[in-house]
Amino acid sequence: MLVAVLVVFCNLITSIHVYSEENIATFSVAPIYSEHQSQGVNNFYDIVWTPSFDEEFAVKITNNTDEEQSYTISVNKARTNNNGIIDYSDSSPESEDAKYKLTEMIKLEEEVTLEANSSKIIEGKLLFPDEDFDGILMAGIYISQIIDTDEESTVSSLISYNIPFIVRGNIDVRPNPILTFSSLTIEKDDSDTSTFYITLDNQGPNLMKSVTISAEIVNESGETILTQERVIDVTPETIFSYPIETTSSIDYGKYNMLITVKHNENNEWTFQESFDIPSEANDNHNLDTMQTQKYQRVSVSILIGCIAILLTIITIKIKKSLK
């Protein structure tokens, strides 16, 4: 069965992204499920954690062309991207703090070659540790066909499939989610608008579906100058950026960013961050960077320290001149 472009995972719509500059029928992929595949789940891997067990699964690749073709296979951690969509194509390494990493637990060939008009079953293993697990892990098997680059061109055509790979803990009760605020930055879009980026960290092995993020920017007078609210899905153990787009320029001055994150009726987090937009930045339409209070405090401390050192040097020189 061909992997569908959209699959449903516990009422969560998850995209299996297919990127192509040519006919996507040049090859196809299909998952072959393991012994502990969740009942009723099709089109992607959904496996129950089984301690001390080597789970065997496979993926079938079919070359629909009249020529031999090669494919690369990689395992990528699932991440929430800036659009609030679950992305399986990001090959960045997993956090060193993660206790369990599917990118290391899943073993697959990294490259295969198929003859013309043929299929091949690629066998893989999921190696479980000895411990029980109460969370959810998410990754994707990313399969790409690389078309040879023309000698006169530096761009190659890339056709790829993503198959989500979900592992559910064998303990039914999930841990309480932990969400922390990391940073607030700003990037210039054009002469009038900018985008704020709130960086949040979902620290636990929790898939948080339908998370509502509300953001409000308030000036010194207490006037709300911008609000935004969106619903996104947050993948387990993921640091992600949430964009807040302005529709017009913001005057220089001091502001507060108020952030509220809600996940069902039991989990709610609030964060507040103060920041300045310097007058020079506003006059020059250059808001590429923004200093928050914590960085201002560091800068002031450094300035005071430098002044103190300078005064000490001057005092020593004065004393020496008086001797």
Query: In b/e form, how buried is each residue of 232-261, taking b as 16+ CB within 10 angstroms?
Result: bbbbbbbebbbebebeeebeeeebebebeb
Query: How many residues are given for the chain?
Result: 323
pLDDT of residue 21: 37
Residue 249: which of 186, 183, 185, 198 has the closest Cα?
Answer: 186
**Torsion over CA: 226, 227, 233, 235 (sign):** positive
Residue 161: which of 67, 64, 24, 46 has the closest Cα?
Answer: 24
Residue 215: which of 189, 177, 243 has the closest Cα?
Answer: 243
Q: Half-sphere exposure of 199 toward its Cβ, with a 13 Å CA cutoff? A: 6
Residue 41: which of 211, 166, 201 has the closest Cα?
Answer: 166
Question: Rounded distance, CA 236 to CA 264, Å?
Answer: 16
pLDDT of residue 170: 96
3-state helix, strand, coil in the chain (%, to 5): 15, 50, 40
pLDDT of residue 279: 72
pLDDT of residue 307: 56
pLDDT of residue 165: 98
Residue 23: which of 110, 145, 107, 109 has the closest Cα?
Answer: 145
Which three-class secondary structure string do you get for 220-241?
A: CCCCEEEEEEEEEEECCCEEEE
Q: What digits encode the pLDDT tens for the residues 193-212? A: 889 999 999 999 999 999 99
Distances 50 to 10, 29, 118, 189, 301 between C-alpha atoms, Å: 20, 26, 34, 48, 53
278-283-284-286 Cα dihedral, nearest 10 degrees? 40
Contact between residue 320 and residue 313 where contact means Cβ atoms under 8 Å apart = no
Q: Is 315 exposed, middle or buried (0-12, 13-18, 19+ CB in 10 A)?
A: exposed
Predicted TM-score (pTM) of this structure: 0.77
Q: Which residues, given as ranges, of the chain have pLDDT below 70?
A: 1-25, 149-158, 191, 280-323
Question: Rounded distance, CA 5 to CA 19, Å?
Answer: 11
Contact between residue 113 and residue 69 where contact means Cβ atoms under 8 Å apart = yes
